[in-house]
A and B are shown apart, each in its own frame.
Chain A
């Protein structure tokens, strides 16, 4: 017990939280940007899987991190485009389309994995690359903060930077304004000459873009191989995190951090003699509780809804 408390109150625990949060944060931003445009993308699970797979394969065969990055992101954006095509041109329900996308991603990655490696489980027979961990010069000298914030994978820093990118995108660019306008009232947006479908396509492409990094981080940073269905529900938790944050940048970051912290906490206390099912329940129980409290407060007007923020 004392060693666990020691671990939890050490700066390393903060480090763990950031590491656990990274894939969630990318996925949450992916959900957020799509939700702002009015078509929530629940296909992040699939997007992450395909990007993770593409990144691993490209890095293994080309030995180039840059190519892997480009291919992984391209794969995520492509899936965003496929979803957009189904939803906006073939008029599929976006939820159904995204569910299909998730199943498709699971199947195609296992199939291709088998084609390339002869293995249906993991790509560990290939020597794929990982993104480097970087130590930030001055920051790593600061006692506690340095241990929490320095030495992370480069994608973890990019995740935090992505929050800023997302902030600038939706508040400071014309595209962001249009995304919000389309999400809030598509008819009104159309009446002033905005092409609603185009804006929604951009939002879904951006969703694929952010999600792709989540996948790349999972397979090329967190661990160093692809294994089937390795996203293990993170794309769905992201929907809760993003909703909790009303799809706004800072709040989405906080929502992701909340789940990251709770997951990290449940990981640390799992060595206690408590039934493991109970511990595994914690992140999900917190999801339900926090969402309930949150919606209660929105209902009673204590928290402003995002629409009123615009």
Chain B
């Protein structure tokens, strides 16, 4: 009996341990010669964040469906010490293109790509340092999240004094960041500039969770912001930010989603909560991954360079869904569309945290 319990427990342990590492063992040498393009997306975390990585995965899945390529998403988990060996292993494996994103893994790609000149690498959300000179097989995409954030910042500044049911008269809006890092601060710069563009005396209270995976703390921070007079807050904190949406629902305030259209994500499972998501600042990672693969197939992808995708390239944007149209009066929506035009035409220059 003891032995049985012991063996059963061991079995559960082993199975869950395998799952935990994402079963990502990729054996090189099982190569089958075929002409199909083989693309692997490396996620330095897990899927299911309802925003960033899920979006990248959607882009790959769409490419698989439409172009008939072979593709797979590999989840690396949250242990940063595993990311570099993982990417090295994928580069050595039977893949033509390795896609990886976020600033944390870019330096690894930078190191590994020159060792595999026959392979292609695509980085998203952060660019490799092309001045290094030997990165002709790498293509980088970065997003002008500051541009999209400008628009939602402007929207928040208008809504905070509007006669929307849950808006108060105090000119304070919130910003909830995951971590105090450049890419998150790029959102913040745009958001603040957008708010100030509408009304210079709107105050943005910004707080950082310190982690992307603590929704309870995210909720507590958001409740504190609402308590201090904010009536709308911008979620830039992945899973921690789901706490903000919960807080908006509970405190009867508004939330702005991020990366994916978070209204659509909650519309079916929790329609009452979804109604508090005014709009989302979309970072269209999915489109950009799809576009990159498409360009690669037609041989037009400019390897050896980085592109920044902004409003103009539809790399970022404001989610236009039924809730947005229902909540936000038409004149305000027109105003936001006008601002979008102005940014695209270059009339408004949005500041960035990356210091250009």
* Residues in B whose Cβ lies below 8 Å from that of A106: 20
Q: Given A16-B220, A270-B207, A271-B206, do A124 and B242 touch, yes or no (CB 8 Å)?
A: yes
User: What separation, in Å, do the CA atoms of A3 and B227 have in the docked complex?
Assistant: 9
User: Within 8 Å of chain A (Cβ to Cβ): is B243?
Assistant: yes
Interface of chain B residues 55 through 96 with chain A (CB within 8 A): 75, 78
| Complex interface: chain B residues within 8 A of A12 (CB) | 227
Tell me if A16 and B224 are in contact (CB < 8 A).
yes
Q: Are B2 and A89 in contact (CB under 8 A)?
A: yes
Q: What is the CB-to-nearest-CB distance from B354 to chain A, in angstroms, rounded to a whole number?
A: 19
Determine whether B180 belongs to the interface, using a CB cutoff of 8 Å to chain A: yes
What 8 pairs across the A-B complex have the smallest Cβ distances? A121-B48, A107-B20, A120-B48, A271-B205, A276-B208, A270-B207, A232-B214, A107-B16
Q: Which residues of chain A come closer than 8 Å to B75, judged between CB atoms?
A: 120
Q: Pull 26 A–B residue pairs with CB atoms less than 8 Å apart, ordered by A.
A: A7-B227, A16-B223, A19-B220, A20-B220, A89-B2, A108-B16, A110-B46, A111-B20, A113-B48, A114-B48, A121-B46, A121-B54, A125-B268, A222-B216, A227-B215, A228-B46, A229-B78, A230-B215, A232-B211, A268-B228, A270-B208, A270-B221, A271-B225, A276-B207, A276-B210, A280-B210
Q: Which positions 11-34 of chain A face chain B at CB distance < 8 Å?
A: 12, 16, 19-20, 23
Set B206, B239, B269: member contacting A127, Cβ < 8 A: B269
Across the two chains, which residue of chain A brings its CB closest to B209?
A280
Q: Interface digits, B185-215 against A, CB 8 Å rule (1 contact, 0 not)?
A: 0000000000000000000011110110111
Cα A7 to Cα B228 in complex, Å, equals: 7
Given A110-B46, A228-B213: A124 and B207 interface contact (C-beta under 8 Å) = no
B20–A122 touching, CB < 8 Å: no
| List of B residues within 8 angstroms of A120 by Cβ | 46-48, 75
Residue numbers in A under 8 Å from B6 (CB-CB): 90
Known contacts A82-B9, A267-B224, A271-B206; A227/B242 CB under 8 A: yes
Does B12 interact with chain A (Cβ within 8 Å)?
Answer: yes
Q: How large is the interface on B (under 10, 10 to 19, 20 to 34, 35 or more residues)?
A: 35 or more
Q: Flag whether B304 is at the interface (Cβ < 8 A).
A: no
Q: Is the CB of A224 within 8 A of B246?
A: yes
**Shortest CB–CB separation between residue B116 and chain A, in angstroms?**
29
- Give B42 Cβ to nearest chain A Cβ, in Å: 15
Chain B, Cβ-Cβ closest to A222: B216
A223 in the interface (beta carbon within 8 A) = yes
Contacts of B268 in A (CB 8 A): 125
Partner of A223, one of B208, B211, B246, B269: B246
B266 CB–A CB distance under 8 Å:
yes
Q: Are B50 and A124 in contact (CB under 8 A)?
A: yes
Given A107-B16, A107-B19, A121-B50, also A85-B5 (CB < 8 A): yes
Whether A290 sits at the interface, judged by CB under 8 Å, is no
Given A224-B246, A232-B217, does the pair A122, B224 have CB atoms closer than 8 Å?
no
Known: A104-B13, A127-B270, A276-B208. 12 other contacts (CB 8 A): A104-B16, A107-B19, A108-B19, A110-B20, A120-B75, A124-B242, A125-B269, A222-B216, A223-B219, A232-B216, A268-B224, A268-B228
Q: How far is the CA of A57 from the CA of B246 in the complex (A)?
A: 19
CB < 8 Å A-B pair total: 131
Q: Which residues 261-277 of A have a CB within 8 angstroms of B?
A: 264, 267-268, 270-271, 275-277
B49 touches A (CB below 8 Å): yes
Q: Does A53 contact B (CB under 8 A)?
A: no
A4 to B205, CA, bound (A): 11
Contact, CB under 8 Å: A223 / B20: no
Given A108-B12, A271-B228, check contact A122 B214 (CB 8 Å): no
Question: In the assembly, what is the distance between CA of A16 and CA of B247, in Å?
Answer: 13
Given A275-B180, A276-B180: A227 in contact with B246 (beta carbons within 8 A): no
Q: Give the complex CA separation of A100 and B13 in angstroms.
A: 9
Name A100's closest neighbour in chain B (CB-CB).
Answer: B13
| CB contact under 8 A between A126 and B269, given known A16-B220, A223-B216, A275-B180 | yes
- A228 to B242: give the CA distance in the assembly, Å: 12
What's the minimum C-beta distance from B1 to chain A, rounded to whole angstroms?
Answer: 12
Q: Are B208 and A280 in contact (CB under 8 A)?
A: yes
Of all chain B residues, which has the CB nearest A90?
B6
